Amino acid sequence: MKVDVLIAEIGSTTTVISAFASDASGKLRFLSQGEHYTTVDAGDVTIGIEKAISILKKRLAVNSLDWNMFLATSSAAGGLKMTVHGLVYDMTVKAAREAALGAGAVIKYVSAGKLSSRDLEHIVEVDPRVILLAGGVDYGERETVIHNAKLLSELPLSIPVIYAGNIAATETVTEILTSAGKTVHIAENVYPRIDQLNVEPTREIIRKAFAENIIKAPGMERIYSVVDKNVIPTPAAVMLTTGLIAEHYEDVLVVDIGGATTDVDSYTQGDPEIQKMLVAPEPLAKRTVEGDLGVFVNARHVIDHIGEHQLRSEFADYDDLLSSISPYPKDRRSEEFIARLAKYCFETAIRRHAGRIRQLYGPTGRIEVAEGKDLTAIKLLLGTGGVLTRSHFREKIMGSVKNLARKHIKELLPRSDVKLGYDKNYIFAAIGVLSKIDRALAMDLIEDDLCFLAK
């Protein structure tokens, strides 16, 4: 059998291979999936890919499988480790962080202002794959970013530096870093003017850096012996899909509950009235990663957050359920326990992603201001990840969002009338990487993949 495209999503826990082929009308359609544990720990991620393909062949009932193109996304092997350095934390550092997270990077260290010797020690300890240097609005303060470039040029690390700061310092910063043998990628300023974010150009450069550096991650060295195009970070792929969906549904929120993390992507400007109250700009497309919220690798952290005593009161067989936690629950009772953890991850990750209303006191008395991302205008909330695409308790997990805004009235959460749906084929990451190759085919898949809940 020959298909048009195979797409691998290589996660920290599992590797999922999805097969796609064109139907009689020429539209690309999802056929089936194969899934296996990711084999980074075995020293070669392609072992897990091959085993997942073997399972896929069984599900397709074929002895052989060929394809025209093989694509992949990955969040395994620690992702793309980065450090981020800017001028003022609430301005350029925040903008640089938004760019990095939206591109799927894993931020290991952040600094604001002039770098110190201790900062440099932290950077060396982190051993990042890329450094993002920003600072200053265009034609504004130059001294800090030039100082930082000089210190970064002295680091004993052979890694690229992305510069996304004051355009007036670009030439000087580039000369300092290149003279020291560093590779420099120049992006548009992430914070070109006061109250303006410009993160997408930097995100694109970070995605390219990920593709170039993925082979340096343990277990990933042979990935390009399998795939035909650049590997992109799985979170970045999901964000690309979120943007595509928003072209039709406007204000969209996507929650991805995984074994290690819970990621939230929003694509919304928010309510116009809230916009007038914001004290700092927020990006149209925002991503947050909750590294302590996962239902397998980080299940223990979630249990600690909920409280063991509380869970024991809900599950008389708590000890048995805890010992059998797996990406593949063995029975409905185990699935119910995982769903309980997932519900906490779902609610908490959304609340952490959202901004809030605060009261300040000034010369004219008390005023209300808005800080952070406004989710009150969200029209469609979608679930992806293993739990939200496959669990029998999906509606119970996702339906909990309907009451969040009433419980937390000062938080900028989705309203109770938000429409709920999910990624029925577990292919949001696949759609995102495909959109980099053929946008129209990716849109075909979205149309066929979304499934909406009755609630």
Mean pLDDT computed over 391-408: 95
DSSP structural state of residue 341: H
| pLDDT at residue 11, rounded to an integer | 84
Q: pLDDT confidence of 455, banded at 50, 70, 90?
A: low
According to the model, what pLDDT value does residue 77 have?
63
436, 380, 65: which is closest to 228 by C-alpha?
Answer: 436
Distance CA 382, CA 248 (A): 14
pLDDT at 103: 84
DSSP state of 92: I
Q: With a cut of 90, say whether residue 432 has pLDDT above it.
A: yes
Angstrom distance (rounded) from CA 253 to CA 153? 40
d(CA 144, CA 85): 10
What is residue 327's predicted lDDT score, i.e. its pLDDT? 81
Contact yes or no for 254/414 (Cβ under 8 A): no
Question: What is the mean predicted confidence (pLDDT) over 328-343?
Answer: 94
The pLDDT of 106-128, averaged and rounded, is 95
Q: What is the pLDDT of residue 78?
A: 64
List pLDDT tens digits, range 230-259.
999 888 899 999 999 999 999 999 999 988
Identify the band that residue 41 occupies on the pLDDT scale cut at 50, 70 and 90.
confident
CA–CA distances in Å: residue 77 to residues 105, 218, 234, 387: 12, 6, 12, 22
Instruction: Tally Cβ neighbours within 10 Å of residue 26.
Output: 8
pLDDT at 217 over 90: no
- Beta strands (DSSP E) in 291-379 are 356-362, 365-371
Least confident of 136-140, 213-217, 218-222: 213-217
- The structure tokens listed for 394 are 């999906």
- Token pair in block for residue 415: 């309203």
Residue 122 has a CB neighbour count (10 Å cut-off) of: 15
Q: Which residue has the tokens 């993160």?
A: 199
Angle at 435 between CA 430 and CA 440, to 5 degrees: 115
19-40: average pLDDT: 93
Give φ, ψ of 342 to 5 degrees.
-65, -35
What is the share, in percent, of the chain residues with pLDDT greater than 70?
99
Average pLDDT over residues 51-74: 96
Distance CA 256, CA 258 (A): 6
pLDDT of amino acid 451: 96
Per-residue pLDDT at 3: 96
In the predicted model, what is the mean pLDDT of the chain?
93
Q: State the pLDDT confidence band at 25, using cuts at 50, 70 and 90.
A: confident
Statement: residue 12 has pLDDT above 90:
no
- Contact by Cβ (8 Å): 30, 10: no
pLDDT of 40: 87
Dist. CA 120–CA 222, nearest whole Å = 32
Q: Residues of 390-421 as b/e, b for ≥16 C-beta within 10 angstroms?
A: ebebbeebbeebbebbeeeeebbbbbeebebb
**Long-range contacts (CB closer than 8 Å, 24 or more residues apart) made by 272-278:** 274/370, 274/374, 274/376, 274/412, 275/374, 277/357, 277/368, 277/369, 277/370, 278/369, 278/370, 278/371, 278/374
Give CA angle at 41 (35, 47), nearest 5°.
Answer: 45
Written as six digits, the tokens of 275 are 């916009």
Q: Residue 54 and residue 60: Cα distance in Å, rounded?
A: 10
Q: What angle separates helix 234-249 from helix 200-213, to the nearest 10 degrees?
A: 140
Q: How confident is residue 362, by pLDDT bands cut at 50, 70 and 90? A: confident
> Cβ distance 282 to 97 under 8 Å?
no
Q: What share of the chain is helix, strand, coil (3-state, %, to 5)?
A: 40, 25, 35
Read off the amino acid at residue 40. V
Q: Identify the DSSP state of 414.
A: P
How far apart (Å, rounded) are the C-alpha atoms in residues 199 and 69?
Answer: 30
CB 379 within 8 A of CB 452: no
| pLDDT at residue 160 greater than cutoff 70 | yes
3-state secondary structure of 135: coil
Return the SS3 of 86.
strand
Tell whether the model's pLDDT for residue 27 goes beyond 70.
Answer: yes
